[in-house]
Structure 1
Amino acid sequence: MVAGEPSGDLLAGLLLDGLQARWPGVETVGIGGPHMLARGFESWWPQEKLAVRGYIEVLRHYAEIAGIRRQLKARLLREWPGLFIGIDAPDFNLDLEAGLRGRGIKTVHFVCPSIWAWRPDRIEKIRAAADHVLCIFPFEPALLAEQGVAASYVGHPLANVIPMTPDRSAARATLDLPPDAQVVALLPGSRRSEVRYLASRFFQAAALMAKLQPAIRFIVPVIPSLRTEVVAMLKASGMEGRVTLLDGQSHTALAACDATLIASGTATLEAALFKRPMVIAYNMNRVSWHLMHRQQMQPWVGLPNILCGDFVVPELLQEAATPEALASATLRWLTEPDKVQALQHRFTALHEELRRDTPTLCADAIEQVLEG
């Protein structure tokens, strides 16, 4: 198995629950993070080596990433696993899967690349790479079937992890936050490249919000490997002492907050499942942005908007993601309770649609691949 970033590690951890329940004693190796390691997974490289996003950023690390993929492929061909499962990270995993499958190793890809949103040309790679695709959104299997790719809808694992009615009071007690305070969670991303481009903007936006509403409390979940950089940006913004840094705990932060300023990615779906109003932001290298924007197939970037088919939450991307715009859009959620309530109804319906017995459905599909 290979999960190249924290969101994939979370998905893979849940998948491992299904595999271990179906096949007690199953051995799993490859590249993974803490959720996988906690389930006995053996990681041959640190997951952080693969957590790079954007064309320019990947180019800077290409030699190292390509070297890891070559070494991993060679080792897997020597040891010949019963199955290879690529968890998301399509730029890394699809080529690896195609190479392994071409030599006779069965392959499964977990999370359909978003060919319905951008880069539809990837369908050719998927067809060559995967014996089966495990899909987390209900419309994807039919789309893949049209292209001759076997697939199953297994629900979104996070829909079972996150409670339908989050306990805000318990989360605030855990984080030592006043029960009646207004709390904004800042989530600038889990990759170093995301934090580099977004954290300073988020902290500057927090400073503007604090001037207008001094009582607001700000919390920031930070993964340990990025803490030093985040602390430096926080000091530079002048918000040190006004922002509480958490050791991870992103789910607790989302459960506790009234609204979140959040980087585009899987975390936005987590925020939707927590029924929290959000402002989605993104900023990256200009060349990377230009190349990605040209291939975009839908008017939305954030997963909640894509799944709802509407701009249910604001998206402020690239040049639009100024501290002033981010602060204004976030504060608006704190003053419009009727809109927050309507949004929560939309997100509850989405949660119910995504909730399935994902570990069991994954194990069912994988068993068919193995028997086939």
Structure 2
Amino acid sequence: MIPQRSPRFAMVAGEASGDLLAGLLLGGLKARWPGLQGFGIGGPKMAAHGFEAWWPHDKLAVRGYVEVLRHYREISGIREQLAQRLLAERPDAFIGVDAPDFNLELERRLKVAGIKAIHFVSPSIWAWRGERVRKIRQAVDHVLCLFPFEPAIYAANDIPATYVGHPLADAIALEVPRAASRAALDLDDTHQVVAVLPGSRRSEIQYIGPRLLEAAAVMQRRQPGLRFVLPVAPGLRPLLDPLVAKHAAGVDLQLLDGRSHEALAACDVTLIASGTATLEAALFKRPMVIAYHMHWLSWQMMKRMKYQPWVGLPNILLRDFAVPELLQDDATPAKLADAGLAWLDDPPRCAALVRRFDALHRELRRNTAQAATDAIEKVLAA
């Protein structure tokens, strides 16, 4: 039953991408219920909508089996404390935003206790770890899906789900603000610009950052006129500065505090870590080279479980190697540089990619905040 008062939602979003998605969702929820209360684990995008973060989102920003094991005690301790507090607070609903390894077990406990559990962003059961669908069935009352093919998977497993589109497709304009972004970054139209996006997690910076920075150095040597921009996620500047000094000394590289959307809008090509940022790059219609590198043991475990030939979201959605993926041992500076320069040397190939990304953008544009809020309202009323 929908409460007569403004609802109280508990939410958990891990890392920068989850904070971004949750912030966009909160915008829709606040439009429906201006007096709602939100609390749990989140970041600055959520805080901008009045969300009360009991723990910061970056506490959960760990990827890879080995890396998670190193932080397991702290993360499981946070989850236990949060569960106890939410069982006492009894919010009208819990909304887990991505972070399935953390959220699904928490959602299961809350659902058993009679608290509505909603998961926003389907775990990638169509790409790997498909057995998790059983845990999802036990854990959630409803799944909010970002991609159009996902609800059918859940329907086949008796799990209520709704396609709500991707909020980034609403937030990012169909027409790329290239000139304005270049002006904001002090880049003129004569520059060829490469955006370097090594990820928003510390582990990604450590494993992927050096490779992308060395690739930038190779590209600079081959084409001295290139300009590079690197958006830095909050709190990661002390980690990146020494890597830049070591691996990209002499590169015409501008470090930005955040501003990843300006960097993507302004660039001609991006060297980018696999993850949500690759979808952002596709929505900005940018050619890209997707890279990933992790601890060797995490990689061995992960590659045995994946079901599809693609890792990057743009390729998964287009069901094609529309953009190059250089993963693990293939993610060498030389190969990354070659692939990046190949885009700059082939305008017709870039134009064809823009057309495909534009069609994808329009398919994912569904006013996600409103569609998700409508679905959440129905869950509350059930």
Same fold (TM over 0.5): yes
In 1: Cα distance, 2:53 partner to 2:249 partner: 37
Shift of 1:238: 4.0
Q: Which residue of 2 aligns with 1:306?
A: 316
* Residue in structure 2 matching 1:89, options 79, 88, 99: 99
1:222-251 CA distance string (max 9 Å, x none): 013110110010001142562110000000
In 1: Cα distance, 2:85 partner to 2:177 partner: 45
What one-letter code is carried by the residue in structure 2 that aligns with 1:145? Answer: A
CA contact (8 A) 1:85 1:109 kept: yes
1:114-171 CA distance string (max 9 Å, x none): 1001110110111011100000000111110000100000000000111111111100
Match status 1:165 vs 2:172: no
1:13-39 CA distance string (max 9 Å, x none): 111111111111000000001100011
Match status 1:197 vs 2:207: yes
In 2: Cα distance, 1:325 partner to 1:238 partner: 16
In 2: Cα distance, 1:159 partner to 1:211 partner: 36
In 2: Cα distance, 1:240 partner to 1:130 partner: 51
Q: Which residue of 2 aligns with 1:320?
A: 330
Structure 1, unaligned runs of 5 or more = none
1:310-350 CA distance string (max 9 Å, x none): 00000000000000000000000000000000000000010
What one-letter code is carried by the residue in structure 1 that aligns with 2:175? Answer: T
Q: Secondary structure at the match of 1:301?
A: coil
Q: Which residue of 2 aligns with 1:110?
A: 120
Match status 1:207 vs 2:207: no
Task: Classify 1:240/1:128 alpha carbon distance in 2 versus 1 (closer, same or farther; 3 Å).
Answer: farther
Q: Which residue of 1 aligns with 2:363?
A: 353
In 2: Cα distance, 1:279 partner to 1:326 partner: 7
In 1: Cα distance, 2:152 partner to 2:341 partner: 40
* Residue in structure 2 matching 1:16, options 26, 34, 40: 26
Shift of 1:203: 0.8
In 2: Cα distance, 1:271 partner to 1:238 partner: 23
CA contact (8 A) 1:203 1:239 kept: no
Q: Which residue of 2 aligns with 1:180?
A: 190
Q: Secondary structure at the match of 1:224?
A: coil
In 2: Cα distance, 1:114 partner to 1:308 partner: 16
Q: Which residue of 2 aligns with 1:74?
A: 84
CA contact (8 A) 2:20 2:46 kept: yes
CA contact (8 A) 2:217 2:251 kept: no
* Residue in structure 2 matching 1:278, options 288, 294, 301: 288
Q: Secondary structure at the match of 1:194?
A: helix
Q: Secondary structure at the match of 1:40?
A: coil
Q: What TM-score, normalized to structure 1?
A: 0.99
Q: Which residue of 2 aligns with 1:239?
A: 249
Q: Secondary structure at the match of 2:157?
A: coil
Q: Secondary structure at the match of 2:236?
A: helix
CA contact (8 A) 2:216 2:251 kept: no
Match status 1:218 vs 2:228: yes
Q: Which residue of 1 aligns with 2:140?
A: 130
CA contact (8 A) 1:6 1:33 kept: yes
Match status 1:269 vs 2:279: yes
Q: Which residue of 2 aligns with 1:362?
A: 372
CA contact (8 A) 1:278 1:330 kept: yes
1:59-93 CA distance string (max 9 Å, x none): 00000000000000000001110100000000000
CA contact (8 A) 2:226 2:252 kept: no
How many pairs are equivalent? 372
What one-letter code is carried by the residue in structure 2 that aligns with 1:147? Answer: N
What one-letter code is carried by the residue in structure 1 that aligns with 2:347? Answer: P
In 2: Cα distance, 1:156 partner to 1:4 partner: 18
Structure 2, unaligned runs of 5 or more = 1-10
RMSD: 0.7
What one-letter code is carried by the residue in structure 2 that aligns with 1:135? Answer: C
Q: Secondary structure at the match of 1:281?
A: strand
* Residue in structure 1 matching 2:353, options 343, 346, 359: 343
Match status 1:52 vs 2:80: no
1:281-335 CA distance string (max 9 Å, x none): 0000000001010000000000000000100000000000000000000000000
What one-letter code is carried by the residue in structure 1 that aligns with 2:299? Answer: W
What one-letter code is carried by the residue in structure 1 that aligns with 2:188? Answer: P
Q: What TM-score, normalized to structure 2?
A: 0.96
